[in-house]
Amino acid sequence: MTAMIVRRLLQAPLILLIIYTVTFALAWLLPGNPLDKPEGRRPPVEVQEAMKAQYSLDNPVKFYVSYLDQVSGLAWLRDRGGGDEGESADAPLAARPIFNLGPCLQYEDWSVNEIIGGALPVSVVLGLVALVFALAIGLVAGVVGAVRPGSWMEVATLLVALIGISLPSFVIGTALLIVFAVWLEWVQVAHWGSPRDLLLPALTLSLPFAAYIARLTRLGMIEVLSADFIRTARAKGVSEARIVLRHALKVAFLPVLSYLGPAAAYVMTGSFIVEKVFNIPGLGQHFVNSVLNKDLFVIMGVVLTYSTMLVLFNLTVDILYRWVDPRIEQG
């Protein structure tokens, strides 16, 4: 297991470098000038030139190398080692981030580190709550569906799963907002910060995942419940509840667990639509807006953050997987 972890950790930088290069190429090729305002007044030509030079936007190779230097933490290490003879004297060394994701071009007062630093915790909270909801709804629905085939409960769970998968979240989200915020006034619109604000968006975000988990669980349970060891357990007089929860679910949960890795990364890096409808200051909006603004540094920063999370979550899930199910080959 240790060998597996070490190997995966060594692979990670390489994967990230490939992602960096591909994202850079795509982002650089995007048409449009990142410093241009979509509307309104343009500064004089000489000022526009000064702006471009400030961010090395005039030379792709220079940009690729110097940004990689900053992002990877190499510049930071070098500055540490080389005393005060650093390449860039932007800020006091102590205040400089190790992985410097660069400035935001559209919102000049912010660095990408500050932006992600503010948005990521929000997305993580929302994502985790959504994941808990998804697991709770999905597991219950899946188990019920498998244990009582043909009952009204199965029909109900299938219906929930169908709605969760097929209705887009802007419809569900808006409907929830109108009912709970406008009619019932239980929650505030465009408010974020108290646990109550989490409920509606987390529910909206969780539904598609809940539906998928319900399907995975249901299929797994149906298969497991007909397995030999379950029949043995029944023959030995083990109670039905214990069979389902203790023996069958443990096996049926495995596919759900492997799905949790990418699902966690996905929900935690935010959903643009859910964030937009509920006005949540998370990371998802920056994905979309940075591309629309052609804000190179934000695009690169957000993609790299997302990729790092994805790599780490997949690794975590693989470790957990082996921990939970020793049957899986080690190494």
Residues in 127-156 at the binding interface with another protein, rule: CB under 8 A: 128-129, 131-132, 135
What is the 3 state secondary structure string of the chain? CHHHHHHHHHHHHHHHHHHHHHHHHHHHHCCCCCCCCCCCCCCCHHHHHHHHHHCCCCCHHHHHHHHHHHHCCHHHHHHHHCCCCCCCCCCCHHHCCCCCCCECCCCCCCEHHHHHHHHHHHHHHHHHHHHHHHHHHHHHHHHHHHHCCCCHHHHHHHHHHHHHHHCCHHHHHHHHHHHHHHHCCCCCCCCCCCHHHHHHHHHHHHHHHHHHHHHHHHHHHHHHHCCHHHHHHHHCCCCHHHHHHHHHHHHHHHHHHHHHHHHHHHHHCCCHHHHHHHCCCCCHHHHHHHHHHCCHHHHHHHHHHHHHHHHHHHHHHHHHHHHHCCCCCCC
Binding residues for another protein, total number by CB under 8 A: 77
Which CB atom, from 125 or from 158, has the smaller least distance to another protein? 125
Task: Rank residues 23 and 258 by Cβ distance to another protein and give the closer one.
Answer: 258
Q: Is 58 in the site for another protein (CB under 8 A)?
A: no
CB of 107 to another protein, least distance (A): 5
Strand pairing partners for 103? 111
Binding of another protein by 101 (CB under 8 A): no
- Minimum CB distance to another protein, residue 235 (Å): 24
Tell me how far, at minimum, the Cβ of 151 lies from another protein, in Å: 26
Nearer to another protein, 23 or 174 (CB): 174
Least distance to another protein, CB of residue 190, Å: 4
Q: Contact between 107 and another protein (CB under 8 A)?
A: yes
Residue 39 lies near another protein (rule: CB under 8 A): yes
Q: Is 119 in the site for another protein (CB under 8 A)?
A: yes
Give the span between the Cα atoms of 301 and 50, in whole angstroms: 24
Q: How far is the CB of 257 from another protein (least distance, A)?
A: 7
User: Which parts of 199-238 interact with another protein (CB under 8 A)?
Assistant: none
Query: Which of the stretches 20-28, 122-130, 142-150, 212-220 binds another protein when contact is defined by CB under 8 A?
Result: 122-130
Q: Which of residues 246-305 bind another protein (CB under 8 A)?
A: 249-250, 253, 257, 260, 276-279, 281, 285, 292-294
Q: Which of 5, 98, 182, 328 touches another protein (CB under 8 A)?
A: 182
Q: Which is nearer to another protein, 23 or 279 (CB)?
A: 279
16 versus 107: smaller Cβ distance to another protein: 107
